[in-house]
Structure 1
Amino acid sequence: MTTMASTRRRFLTLLGLSAVAVSCGTSATGTAGKGQTRTLRYQGWAGQVTLPELADDLGYLGDVKLEWVGNTISGPQDIQSAATGQTDFGGAFNGAVVKLAANKAPIKAVVSYYGSDQYAYSGYYVLKDSPIRSARDLTGKKVGMNTLGAHAEAMLDIYLQRGGLSAAEIDKVEPLVVPPVNTEQSLRQRQIEVAVLGGILRDKALATGGIRPLFTDFELLGAFSAGTYVMTDRFLKQNPDTARTFVTAVGRAIEWSRTTPRAEVIARMTDIVKKRGRNEDTTPLKYWRSYGVAETAGRITGKELQLWIDWLAERGDIQKGQVTADDLYTNEFNTAGEGGTAPTSPAPSASTSGS
């Protein structure tokens, strides 16, 4: 029988790729000497516009084309696909990136793509009449999130630790995988006691009413970049120009989203979703407010990775000294926004607060 403790340690299996599996992955780069690929395979997110998709629509990718191979709801799965060559880039919570690198996957984080700020954050919501008011009240309760072993579970663990729960008590809190589009409904139908909601899905749920926040990741850690896109070392070596075009385009798209009126960003996103013809609901897009990336153009400082190196070592998921932040990322391919300061995110047009 699977115990809560073993479920909670799924970091070890979700990202347990061997070096052999990674080295045997397929690649779209072709053989050396045949030129660099100008097509990047990737996974999207239903009903959302990712930064590469926005960059493509803005024309920042030039002759580099995106090839959508399907959708995902899991950052760890997305970077596994990139590490094994099923896609050419993938994005995940930085703790998952650290864990994958610790399993000897030859990857590099190349640009931050999401984070938490006063507008973009993940909240842990309960029904308004819920008796849950503190970390200790979560014992024996179900917390619905998009995937295990990633951002949502990490924030939950930090909240529980700060609430004074022991490791044994933390293991009695049950994180469950619930598709993001179903999380609000699962909470309202009382299938789970806590729902992790972020971005447009969070604000849509708040506009409906009847829920309240228990805590948010922004309250826990302040503004921070939370996830990065990764590429394999092999891809970067064989396709440096393509990588530079991609990373710089993502950086430029981040800054475009910061400095462009919110209504215009939403209109562009809505148009992108309609044009791609995947039968997606565009209504939640009106709640978009920020990608939450802390640094200019998504440049990586190292501190956003070191935080999770320390956290994983403390949990015992990796050994101290097993990985170092400097080995996990590069800004070599990011020429966007060099020497600048990140502008303040545009204020939302409607006052919807998660705190």
Structure 2
Amino acid sequence: MTTTASNRRQFLTLLGLSAVAVSCGTAATGASGKGQTRTLRYQGWAGQVTLPELAADLGYLEDVKLEWVGNTISGPQDIQSAATGQTDFGGAFNGAVVKLAANNTPIKAVISYYGSDKYAYNGYYVLNDSPIRSARDLTGKKVGMNTLGAHAEAMLDIYLQRGGLSRAEIEKVEPLVVPPVNTEQSLRARQIEVAVLGGILRDKALATGGIRPLFTDFELLGAFSAGSYVMTERFLKQNPDTARTFVTAVGRAIEWSRTTPRAEVIARMTEIVKRRGRNEDPAPLKFWRSYGVAETSGRITGKELQLWIDWLAERGDIRKGQVTSGDLYTNEFNAAGRGGATPSSPAPSASTSGS
């Protein structure tokens, strides 16, 4: 675990990239001349199958190949790698995307890739015998999460605000970085008081028992797309056909995962993990239920970004009017699901009471 005395002061500042750093990125476009790259470098997540990996296995990427360069546990780090040209795409919580763009980083969100619904959500769990029952009980407590300055910390912040805590009181809650595969163990060992658990790791922990939810992001904001894959404007300009193949394939993979029997999706993911040889345990995949993307084929409406523009401006992390949602995303490269949003996916509001 990593702890810092200035967690809140450093909130989202790990995305403080300079325009110089971005312009010096060595994106593997292969487009100096006639050819566009047909290989996309990316980071994965241990024990999980990302939507691009699923799309590749389903054949939706056609002749575009994925080149795995390692794993990450941090969305902000992932999109920073894409912005500086170390990878060709990256994904993060939409608030982190907004913050990166506010630092004059020339990126575009191209498709939503995860979100919260009744199956796919992040829960904030405590031990059954914990005295923690409310937001105010979190003062002075440690909350373990995958990374700082992203989805988990933002949801915690909103929960504390709605619980009536002042900014000074919120500062006394301690978000800590804990690798996702170790978070449940850290909670049970009482190294932290609250564990942020999502997806298959959450359901595995619940199956073991002995923990209870304090709150979930689905309870807090309802169903919403929470994160986007981004590419640099330079990459999109130099490799438009590759980008279109990639984004459309991811959109098709989202719909395949929705419409295919769950057991079949899990079986396919399990085979992917076994074949790729990264020394991972595929057993937790049996708990997979949804990627949680709200809109058809991951198409971006802008509302899921505006939510965090408003929230970050209210916090003082960005200036009001510093960024405009329409400048942050494009659906140009997503040929899948042109029908728009699903009826059950209204954009949430961070400033009103949740369900």
What TM-score range do you get, normalising by the shorter chain? over 0.9
Most deviating of 345-354 and 251-260: 345-354
Counterparts in 2 of 1:348 and 1:157: CA distance versus 1, 3 Å: closer
1:6 shift after superposition: 3.0
CA contact (8 A) 1:262 1:346 kept: no
CA contact (8 A) 2:143 2:176 kept: yes
- Deviation by residue 1:158-185 (Cα, 9 ceiling, x = unmatched): 0000000000000000000000000000
Counterparts in 2 of 1:268 and 1:347: CA distance versus 1, 3 Å: farther
- Deviation by residue 1:224-273 (Cα, 9 ceiling, x = unmatched): 00000000000000000000000000000000000000000000000000
CA contact (8 A) 1:143 1:175 kept: yes
Counterparts in 2 of 1:172 and 1:65: CA distance versus 1, 3 Å: same
Counterparts in 2 of 1:31 and 1:350: CA distance versus 1, 3 Å: closer
1:337 shift after superposition: 1.4
Counterparts in 2 of 1:233 and 1:354: CA distance versus 1, 3 Å: closer
Counterparts in 2 of 1:325 and 1:348: CA distance versus 1, 3 Å: closer
* % identical equivalent positions: 91
CA distance in 2, matches of 1:148, 1:80: 14
Residue 178 (structure 2) aligns with? 178
**Structure 2 counterpart SS, 1:14:** helix
CA contact (8 A) 2:295 2:340 kept: no
Counterparts in 2 of 1:12 and 1:122: CA distance versus 1, 3 Å: closer
Counterparts in 2 of 1:75 and 1:2: CA distance versus 1, 3 Å: closer
1:338 shift after superposition: 1.5
- TM-score, with structure 1 as normaliser: 0.95
Equivalent runs, 1:143-154 vs 2, <5 Å: 143-154=143-154
CA contact (8 A) 2:73 2:179 kept: yes
CA contact (8 A) 1:133 1:214 kept: yes
1:353 shift after superposition: 22
**Structure 1 counterpart SS, 2:5:** helix
CA distance in 2, matches of 1:347, 1:19: 31
- Deviation by residue 1:199-247 (Cα, 9 ceiling, x = unmatched): 0000000000000000000000000000000000000000000000000
Counterparts in 2 of 1:6 and 1:346: CA distance versus 1, 3 Å: closer
Residue 326 (structure 2) aligns with? 326
1:11 shift after superposition: 3.1
1:14 shift after superposition: 0.7
Counterparts in 2 of 1:26 and 1:157: CA distance versus 1, 3 Å: same
CA distance in 1, matches of 2:161, 2:353: 25
Most deviating of 323-332 and 333-342: 333-342
- TM-score, with structure 2 as normaliser: 0.95
Equivalent runs, 1:1-355 vs 2, <5 Å: 6-339=6-339, 342=342
- Deviation by residue 1:265-312 (Cα, 9 ceiling, x = unmatched): 000000000000111000100000000000000000000000000000
**Structure 2 counterpart SS, 1:8:** coil
CA distance in 2, matches of 1:347, 1:8: 27
Counterparts in 2 of 1:33 and 1:347: CA distance versus 1, 3 Å: closer
Counterparts in 2 of 1:317 and 1:2: CA distance versus 1, 3 Å: farther
CA contact (8 A) 1:123 1:354 kept: no
CA distance in 1, matches of 2:350, 2:45: 25
CA distance in 2, matches of 1:343, 1:102: 31
1:12 shift after superposition: 4.6
CA contact (8 A) 1:83 1:231 kept: yes
CA distance in 2, matches of 1:21, 1:221: 35
CA distance in 1, matches of 2:339, 2:70: 36
1:32 shift after superposition: 2.4
- Deviation by residue 1:104-153 (Cα, 9 ceiling, x = unmatched): 11000000000000000000000000000000000000000000000000
CA contact (8 A) 1:121 1:217 kept: yes
For structure 2, which runs of at least 5 residues remain unmatched after alignment?
none
Counterparts in 2 of 1:12 and 1:348: CA distance versus 1, 3 Å: closer
Most deviating of 285-294 and 331-340: 331-340
**Structure 1 counterpart SS, 2:25:** coil
1:10 shift after superposition: 1.9
Count of aligned pairs between the two proteins:
355
CA distance in 2, matches of 1:148, 1:296: 29
Counterparts in 2 of 1:70 and 1:123: CA distance versus 1, 3 Å: same
1:339 shift after superposition: 1.9
CA distance in 1, matches of 2:287, 2:144: 21
1:327 shift after superposition: 0.2
Counterparts in 2 of 1:258 and 1:194: CA distance versus 1, 3 Å: same
CA contact (8 A) 1:259 1:346 kept: no
Most deviating of 242-251 and 6-15: 6-15
**Structure 2 counterpart SS, 1:99:** helix
CA distance in 1, matches of 2:143, 2:279: 29
CA contact (8 A) 2:224 2:346 kept: no
**Structure 1 counterpart SS, 2:12:** helix
CA contact (8 A) 1:90 1:231 kept: yes
For structure 1, which runs of at least 5 residues remain unmatched after alignment?
none
Counterparts in 2 of 1:40 and 1:136: CA distance versus 1, 3 Å: same
CA distance in 2, matches of 1:224, 1:205: 24
Counterparts in 2 of 1:269 and 1:346: CA distance versus 1, 3 Å: farther
